Amino acid sequence: MALELDGFAVLHRIGANRAVFEGISSEVAKVARSLLVKLLKDKRTGVDGVRAVRAALGAEPFALVVDGLTDAEIKSIAKRLDKHNPVLIDGDAATVRKLVGALADGSTEPASRPRAASRGSTKAPKSKKEPTAPKTIARISFKSAGATRGR
């Protein structure tokens, strides 16, 4: 029967006793960064989740993690967090990084979906015609109703 290891408790103890774990400090940094990147790239991590991560880490460590992301990674994260923002269409990676940072610290909210341009805006609006009363027919002929087909 395998025992489960509490990873959070182990990482907490490693962080509390840095002198003891000095030999693996570079590995700890790599693992911590990879875990944070994995969390940021997760589909289920929304804007509220990113804000919670930034609040837990602090501004500077979060900024270091975001700065370490590749251009493709930061753009995919930004598209997931704020898919209607026009910065994503023509913005460079630095602008997209600023957008993710602003979304994380709460200074920017995700952009709302743009409304589609209405079609036919160059045409004049149609005038509504007033309904007319139906014409009354004096007499209806049923002469053709009794027709028979000849063979």
Q: Is the pLDDT of residue 84 over 70?
A: yes
Write down the residue that tokens 């990147």 correspond to.
37
DSSP state of 150: -
Rounded distance between C-alpha atoms, residue 47 and residue 36, angstroms? 15
CA-CA-CA-CA torsion sign (18, 21, 25, 28): negative
Tens digit of each residue's pLDDT (9 = 90 or more) over 40-73: 999 999 999 999 999 999 999 999 999 999 999 9
Tens digit of each residue's pLDDT (9 = 90 or more) over 91-147: 889 999 999 999 999 888 888 777 766 665 566 667 777 878 777 766 766 666 666
Give the pTM.
0.68
What is the three-class DSSP state of 133? coil
Of the candidates 32, 78, 38, the one whose C-alpha atom is nearest the C-alpha of residue 57 is: 32
